[in-house]
Structure 1
Amino acid sequence: MTPAPAAPPAPPAVSVVGIGADGWAGLPDAARTELTAAQVLIGAPRQLGLLPPECTGQRVPWPSPLRPAVPGLLAEHAGRRIAVLASGDPMFYGIGRALTEILGTDGLRIVPHPSSVSYACARVGWAVEDTEVVTLVGRPAARLAAALHDGRRLLVLSADATTPAVVATHLREHGFGPSLMRVLEQLGGENEAYAEGTADTWAHPPGDPLNVIAVECRRAPDALRLGAVPGLPDEAYEHDGQLTKRHVRAATLGVLAPAPGELLWDVGGGSGSVAIEWMRTHPSCRAISVERDPVRAQRIERNAAHLGVPALRVIGGKAPESLAELPTPDAVFIGGGLTVPGLLDACWDALPAGGRLVANTVTLESEALLAERYRRHGGDLVRLAVAHAVPVGGFTGWRQAMPVTQWSVRKPSTDPTAERSAEAPAEPSGDNG
């Protein structure tokens, strides 16, 4: 006997519907069906106000702050059919991400709308795939600095009507005053409006809070050039001499090998340069800088904000004690304090299998310690030497910087303490010299 076909699964109890400035008129039939069938309608007051009377569900505005309130609101209306309103595409910096984390993909139906990015690129004639997006919604404007490169096109998602003026100031302060700015308001709606000018001359008053800023980056001729790879100029940093210098920094980041989403411990942060450039390699890279000197810790925070990675977490305290409660790192850089008892062991023990450790030193005492660890664990032990050309009378000569000894190693899946013979290898004979 042929079994009866299985009944189709019940639709998810929660739907997420994207809506634009054009409101109900701009929604497709699928979105309208979800909204008219909902028993509970959750959204910002502005979004709820766009719905017509035929959407009869109970209208519930989001409280502030929004994110912590999501689980409670869903629990309060459990068993009822819920529709959540989102601006544009719910999965692009929208509420869709939070709901997916709570309910899973099977617990949601998402009906997207064109995002503000799609609208903005259509208005200014930019290819979406060639345009970088920086959101300042609930995030500091300092994030913008990491995206500033001559000739790049940026779309900045505004927090409110004051954001364009903030962006103009930020561009001027970072040497990008000549950049062209176009503020696009109420995209897709009947009240679309535009304002245009350079950051240097920006004098437009605040307009509509629902706006996106298109920026064509133009660096001033005398502005310091900051590239997209590690090894920024030393003058990009505020420091008191405790700075991993440019060429050594580039070599250090090369062996640390940051990848998207990874976490670095920067132990003995100094000026924070290694952690900052780790984070600049990808927006999802994270870092924690540990610095016991409070003056230097504050300096690290200023450097991080100035160079576009204000999310760098700075821990003021002594290592290894301050490392105990930190999340597991993917890589550890030790730029100072190698001879502190227990520090190197604490960093090594914190690494998971496959994690990387890099330590730099200029002292003989620390160099001896790294040589011993190299004998035990392997890896690479190198000496980095840099010389700079300087005037010598009417001629030019080389001035040698202090050489840096660097140990880099990847932690194996098993870490027996006696991977190598406890006995030192025999010195090579003179015939091999």
Structure 2
Amino acid sequence: MKKQIFIIGCGPGAPEEITGHGAKLLEICHGVYAFDRIGDLYKDFKEGIIKCSYQDIEEKIRSSKAQKMAVLVSGDVGFFSMAKRLDEKFRIDFDVFFTCGISSLQYLCSKIKLSYEDVRAVSLHGREGNLPGSIAYNRYTFVLTGGANNASKILKDLKQNGLSGIKVTAGELLSMPGERILCGTVEELSEISFDSLTVLLFENENCVNRDMPLFDKELSRNETPMTKQEVRWVAVNMMKIEARDVLFDIGAGSGSVAIEMARKAHEGLVFAIEKKDNAFELLCKNKSDLGALNVIPVFGEALEEIRKLPVPDKVFIGGSGGNLDKLVKSLYRANEDVKILITAITLETLTEALEAFKEINFETDIVCLNCSKSKKAGSYNMMIANNPIYIIYGEKNDK
């Protein structure tokens, strides 16, 4: 018969938060293992707890003679837990069982009397993540912090990125001595130092429905040219944008494409690059008015600015300033797997785009979009044609 391992979620910290079932299992287990913090917190709750690191636990469990063993993990076994990795380590040679616990999300929401079925949960504990998108498109966003991404740093970064007014609740040392729950805005709480054991719950009352397309009538306009909605809808869908993508909009103009892409990359970032003052001002206004918190406006020449930015997954080029070939090659050097979409009105730009893609051996897909829209003429509707637009999509040719 295989030995048994019970992986027990023991809540946010205090031993009294462990479930009754979890406590009964500890009584029948003769080898109980815990990682540093949990081991310290539970030392008076169960005698003989063996503290160890994640790297050491496999050797200790495999060398144990106990028939029934337990591993204590923080929070709940199904909520950003180490339980999954432990199961993968042991499930072939042991019978592994999960016992649920109280997550920090549950604990905090109960304290502030908030129902959490609509809360978007994000872990930045030892992970990279683009938080502005989650906040932009969800009423509530819960964040597990940790490591370099501690609560104080996260709040300062969000303030710097223009999210100062977003409401936030910080839960520090939950269930433990020194527990502190503070509510305020990002700006207010960014001035406070927090313990490393702190979670954050953001509330964005003006969150955007990311499933809705962006209509031209929603955008502020000036003399800056704008990619029309029908072209945006085709182009953005051709780019096959994924939730966590990092995107560039080069020649962003009014920001219409950047904002449309940002709804697709709702856990990612869109860097909207524009060099003209009046267009950049309009871009910033539309970003703010339409709640596109994961759009980062960048002022300057694209060839210079893209060197300072994260490596993109996908790039939209609506205006190149005469540097299309150089831009394509620079983007390809940064990431050979980058996907690039170019829109063109003139045959010359179409030819230049195809030549640039050919030189880096990109597979291309070309669409010519001819669109007419109705216009009232007395009691009649007249169809008025827009200029035909060429949409050129290119990606690495793996054939």
- Regarding TM over 0.5, the answer is yes
Contact 1:180 1:217 in 2 (8 A): yes
Q: How many angstroms apart in 1 are the aligned matches of 2:86 and 2:160?
A: 38
User: What is the aligned partner in structure 1 of residue 210 from structure 2?
Assistant: 228
Contact 1:161 1:208 in 2 (8 A): no
Q: Which of 49, 70, 74 lines up with 2:58 in the alignment? A: 74
User: What is the aligned partner in structure 2 of residue 28 from structure 1?
Assistant: 19
> Cα deviations across residues 187-231 of structure 1 (Å, max 9, x unaligned)?
334543222222333365324332222222256xxxxx9773576
Q: Structure 2 unaligned segments of length 5 or more: list them.
A: 217-223, 271-301, 314-327, 356-362, 374-383
Counterpart amino acid of residue 109 in structure 1: F
Q: In the superposition, relative to structure 1, how do residues 214 and 246 fare at CA in structure 2: closer, same or farther (>3 Å)?
A: farther
Q: In the superposition, relative to structure 1, how do residues 207 and 169 fare at CA in structure 2: closer, same or farther (>3 Å)?
A: closer
Q: Which of 211, 221, 230 lines up with 2:198 in the alignment? A: 211
Q: Which of 351, 359, 382 lines up with 1:365 in the alignment? A: 351
Q: Matched residue of 2:168: which SS?
A: strand
User: What is the aligned partner in structure 1 of residue 182 from structure 2?
Assistant: 195
* Residue 123 of structure 1 pairs with residue 111 of structure 2: yes
* Residue 42 of structure 1 pairs with residue 34 of structure 2: yes
Counterpart amino acid of residue 298 in structure 1: R
Measured after TM superposition, the shift of residue 250 of structure 1 is 3.8
Counterpart amino acid of residue 335 in structure 1: L
Q: How many angstroms apart in 1 are the aligned matches of 2:144 and 2:196?
A: 11
Measured after TM superposition, the shift of residue 118 of structure 1 is 0.7
User: What is the aligned partner in structure 2 of residue 108 from structure 1?
Assistant: 96
Contact 1:180 1:199 in 2 (8 A): yes
Q: In the superposition, relative to structure 1, how do residues 146 and 34 fare at CA in structure 2: closer, same or farther (>3 Å)?
A: same
Q: Structure 1 unaligned segments of length 5 or more: list them.
A: 1-8, 220-224, 234-240, 288-292, 305-314, 327-331, 337-358, 370-376, 388-397, 410-414, 416-433
Measured after TM superposition, the shift of residue 124 of structure 1 is 1.7
Q: How many angstroms apart in 2 are the aligned matches of 1:196 and 1:127?
A: 17
Counterpart amino acid of residue 404 in structure 1: I
* Residue 184 of structure 1 pairs with residue 140 of structure 2: no
User: What is the aligned partner in structure 2 of residue 395 from structure 1?
Assistant: none
User: What is the aligned partner in structure 1 of residue 44 from structure 2?
Assistant: 52
* Residue 137 of structure 1 pairs with residue 119 of structure 2: no
Contact 1:88 1:114 in 2 (8 A): yes
Q: How many angstroms apart in 2 are the aligned matches of 1:160 and 1:215?
A: 20
Aligned ranges 1:377-416 → 2 under 5 Å:
381-383=367-369, 404-406=389-391
Q: How many residues align?
A: 317
Contact 1:185 1:194 in 2 (8 A): yes
Q: Matched residue of 1:156: which SS?
A: strand
Q: Matched residue of 1:129: which SS?
A: coil
Counterpart amino acid of residue 281 in structure 1: K
Contact 2:133 2:268 in 1 (8 A): no
Q: Matched residue of 2:72: which SS?
A: strand
Contact 1:181 1:215 in 2 (8 A): yes
Measured after TM superposition, the shift of residue 128 of structure 1 is 1.1
Contact 1:269 1:335 in 2 (8 A): no
Counterpart amino acid of residue 98 in structure 1: R
Q: How many angstroms apart in 1 are the aligned matches of 2:329 and 2:87?
A: 36
Q: In the superposition, relative to structure 1, how do residues 124 and 260 fare at CA in structure 2: closer, same or farther (>3 Å)?
A: same
Q: In the superposition, relative to structure 1, how do residues 383 and 300 fare at CA in structure 2: closer, same or farther (>3 Å)?
A: farther
Counterpart amino acid of residue 132 in structure 1: R
Q: Matched residue of 1:134: which SS?
A: strand
Contact 1:177 1:218 in 2 (8 A): no
Q: How many angstroms apart in 2 are the aligned matches of 1:75 and 1:286?
A: 42
The percent of aligned pairs where both chains have the same amino acid is 17
- In our comparison, the structure showing a higher alpha carbon Rg is 1
Q: In the superposition, relative to structure 1, how do residues 177 and 54 fare at CA in structure 2: closer, same or farther (>3 Å)?
A: closer
Q: In the superposition, relative to structure 1, how do residues 29 and 252 fare at CA in structure 2: closer, same or farther (>3 Å)?
A: same
Contact 1:186 1:193 in 2 (8 A): yes
Q: Matched residue of 1:159: which SS?
A: coil
Between 1 and 2, higher relative CO (CA 8 Å, sep ≥ 6) is seen in 2
After superposition, the CA RMSD in angstroms is 5.2
Aligned ranges 1:248-327 → 2 under 5 Å:
248-258=231-241, 281=264, 295-301=304-310, 319=332, 323=336
Counterpart amino acid of residue 206 in structure 1: S
Q: Which of 3, 6, 16 lines up with 2:7 in the alignment? A: 16
* Residue 335 of structure 1 pairs with residue 320 of structure 2: no
Contact 2:123 2:144 in 1 (8 A): yes
Q: In the superposition, relative to structure 1, how do residues 57 and 22 fare at CA in structure 2: closer, same or farther (>3 Å)?
A: closer
> Cα deviations across residues 149-193 of structure 1 (Å, max 9, x unaligned)?
388222222327994433443443344323332222233345432
Q: Matched residue of 2:62: which SS?
A: coil
